[in-house]
Amino acid sequence: MLGLNKKDTSLLLLVAALVAFAPILLNPFPEGSALAQFNAGYPDLMQRFVIFGIFAIGFNILFGLTGYLSFGHAAFLGAGSYAGVWALKLLTINVIPAIIISTIVAGLFSILIGYISLRRSGIYFSILTLAFAQMAFALAASVLTPITGGETGLQTNLNDPRILDFGVREGGNIPAPSLFGLEMGSSFQLPVAGWLWTFNVGYYLSAVLMLIAFYIAIRIFRSPFGMMLKAVKSNQQRLNYTGLNTRPYMLACFVISGMYAGLAGGLMVAMDPLAGPERMQWTASGEVVLMSILGGVGTLIGPVLGAGFIKYFENIFSKINDNLLHQWFAFMPDGIENVLVAIIHPFIGKGWHLTLGLMFMAVIIFLPGGLVELGQRIGRLFKRRKSDDTSGQTTPAE
């Protein structure tokens, strides 16, 4: 199917099913229940899941296949965001041109950075990409203020030209990004018993593009080009000794990875037409590194899982506060309740990064393959139990 083998086709169909039914799967608890706090099926968070999934998939093409660790991928995310906002301001409020232009601009930007950075490898490559990203952040925050809006950011306005919209105005309101008239913020809510499922236009547009990006990543991983990148990771020096020039392959991989980041940046402004320099900070680059490692470096679905995992904790776990903890432990004696709240307090709310750090340490120590390795171990455990049950049965004599 679509040029994929049976295993890859099954994986693609699994991811497609998960993103299609995400509004239902991410709302496992009824609205009025005490556990509704852990529901994640609302549009803004689901959009973040798939958009950062695209960002992580692209980063994994570079890091997972070649072993080159970039600490500057946020520069392409930010460049794509700024290009997307300018497209919404100058051309049309339709998000398709903005997404395309964001991807192209990020690709051109990555050619420049990649051509210089790929002259070095290892830690020197990582430092070079970090330096470029920090320079881009400084330029966006101060020097290029007329283009980027400085620290306040760049956003759409009512009086923007939007030459492809033929002067159409929304009667005093800033027009919302749309897809041929269908606004990205439009949602359809379906109440079923105690559950409320929300199906959002912006989410499904992002989900379709993520599936396309995931399919392209599979083809890259299985292609001769992908095999060459894996050979670079295995032993680049030996390849150089054979007379093979690996730089064109590395530059192509770097540009593809940067275009994925630009696509993610374009989708961000398609959902919320605002771009700021904070998207170029080193912390944004570090976040995508965490996503890839937590999910499983070099795997296909790992970066998607890692992105969803981190964004879930950032948006759900970080909202747990002391008042909610007191409600959970209210059935206990006051002394024990207060002690438990005091122990858990540093790991929730603003301190959720501490919990994330501990989980990251646990993954590095016990699960080097990330969440994908955890799933594989669980699968092998069930297979072993099934085989033991089968071998324990006696075969009747003939």
Collapsing DSSP states into helix, strand and coil, what is residue 91? coil
pLDDT at 398: 42
pLDDT tops 90 at residue 169: no
Average per-residue pLDDT in the chain? 88
Q: Classify residue 258 as exposed, middle or buried by CB count within 10 Å of its CB (0-12, 13-18, 19+).
A: buried
Query: What band does 166 get if pLDDT is binned at 50, 70 and 90?
Result: low
Beta-carbon contacts of 391 under 8 Å, excluding residues fewer than 6 positions away, are none
Query: In the prediction, which pLDDT does 171 show?
Result: 58
Q: Examine the pLDDT at 191 and tell me if it is beyond 50.
A: yes
Whether the predicted pLDDT of 371 surpasses 50: yes
Give the range among 96-105, 112-121, 204-213, 318-327 with minimum mean pLDDT: 318-327
Candidate from 130-144, 145-159, 343-357 with smallest mean pLDDT: 343-357
Q: Mean pLDDT throughout 210-228?
A: 94
* Statement: residue 151 has pLDDT above 70: yes
What's the CA gap between 124 and 118, in Å, rounded?
9
The model's pTM: 0.91
Q: Set out the domains of the chain in order of their start, with CATH numbers.
A: 6-280 (1.10.3470)
pLDDT tens for 18-44 read 999 999 999 888 887 777 788 888 889
Which tokens hold the place of 18? 């998960």
The string of pLDDT tens digits covering residues 286-313 is 899 999 999 999 898 999 999 998 888 8
DSSP string, 195-253: EEEEEEHHHHHHHHHHHHHHHHHHHHHHSHHHHHHHHHHHHHHHHHHTT---HHHHHHH
